[in-house]
Amino acid sequence: MPFNTPPLLGGELEAIRQCLGEGAFSGNGRFSRQCARLLEERLPVARALITPSCTAALEMAAILCDLGPGDEAIVPSFTFSSTANAIALRGAVPVFVDIEPDTLNVSPDAVARAITARTRAIFVVHYAGVPCEMDRINEIAAAHGLVVIEDAAQALGSSYKGRAAGALASMGAFSFHATKNIVSGEGGALTLGDPALVERAEIVQEKGTNRSQFVRGEVDKYTWVDIGSSYLLSEIAAAFLIGQIRSVDEINGDRLATWRTYRDSFLDLEQSGRARLPVVPEHVRHNAHIFYLLLRDEAERDRFLEAMRGQGVMATSHYVPLHSSPAGRKFGRSAGSLAQTDKVAGTIVRLPLYFGMTDRDRGQVIDRVRAFFRTD
């Protein structure tokens, strides 16, 4: 039983054939623009830019908030390297803060305590597709004049108080990596809630040139006008992505059915204190990106992973907290206690969850998990 398999919906080959037939494969062609429009309408946001990855979208966001040497940006320690890399690549310092014990999302109180005269931005991560406490985060940011960036890598289709993740701050970054709910192999998007950022974002995406204005006929030649890089997705991957974006509700609905089956099957483990289940606040809708259990200690977590693998079920753990990673120690610093991060990183296990899991697949995972708790 794999941990994840990418969803295939059936229209992908035809879309790629169309793209090849049209003979235009480089970035920001009609397929990327269509993907962008679908996201702009869905979220809604002022502008979406289709990128080669969420990592690239986060790098663009760090450029757009003018992070530089001497600046700090606050980020949860419990996240993927990309969130902090974007900050470090600008020569700024990622400041690691703790997460909430319930949602595993960044703690607004820890963010508020970590603010210094050098702080410029707050990067939040909607862990497992469950949006962060954005009203509190945005309030804190407004009080200190900080930019908020949502790392919504895992959160397409999720919402907070009826508003979509990725449209809850000035910028959002999505991932379409093969392990996400909707995929294009590698791929991502930068979403801009703030229309004032659009013009510069187009330039940063196109290697620092005003090529987008040239393509629209607004200037008669294009030239190098700012820093930037090649943050474009190939049209072949964008053609693949269109059908995936259109099917996000179907895919998320299917994943939610598995997520709920897991939760209902393991409620007694929580009641008996054997494992903690995910917490989803009332005012939040999530996209079932991850189903996790928090076990009692690290030794039990290791035994669990080994037992699952021994029976052919790929369960996994993550993240090595960034504050204790080699690069985190070199480029960043910690602010306050990171006790929740350390505890969660040592006890979390994630169960197989992908589009199209059958009752039999789910049943197998549930049986193996229950067998572990019977014999352990």
- d(CA 49, CA 25) in angstroms, rounded, equals 16
Contact segment (CB under 6 A) with ligand PLP among 80-88, 113-121, 142-150, 358-366 equals: 80-88
Tell me if 176 sits within 8 A of 183, measured CB to CB. Answer: yes
- Closest approach, Cβ 220 to ligand PLP, in A, equals 36
Give me the sheet containing 284-285, strands edge to edge. Answer: 163-164, 159-160, 284-285
| Interaction between residue 83 and ligand PLP (CB under 6 A) | yes
Nearest residue (CB) to ligand PLP, 138 versus 184:
184
Which of 77, 175, 209, 334 touches ligand PLP (CB under 6 A)?
175
304 binds ligand PLP (CB under 6 A): no
What's the closest the beta carbon of residue 374 comes to ligand PLP, in angstroms?
33
Q: Least distance (Å) from ligand PLP to the CB of residue 318?
A: 9
The mark string for 140-159 relative to ligand PLP (x by CB under 6 A, - otherwise) is -----------x-xx-----
Is residue 188 involved in binding ligand PLP (CB under 6 A)?
Answer: yes
Q: According to CB under 6 A, which residues from 113 to 132 bind ligand PLP?
A: 125
Site string for ligand PLP, 97-116 (x = CB under 6 A): --------------------
- Of 41-70, binders to ligand PLP (CB under 6 A) are 53-55
Q: Applying CB under 6 A, which residues contact ligand PLP?
A: 53-55, 79-80, 82-83, 125, 151, 153-154, 175, 177, 188
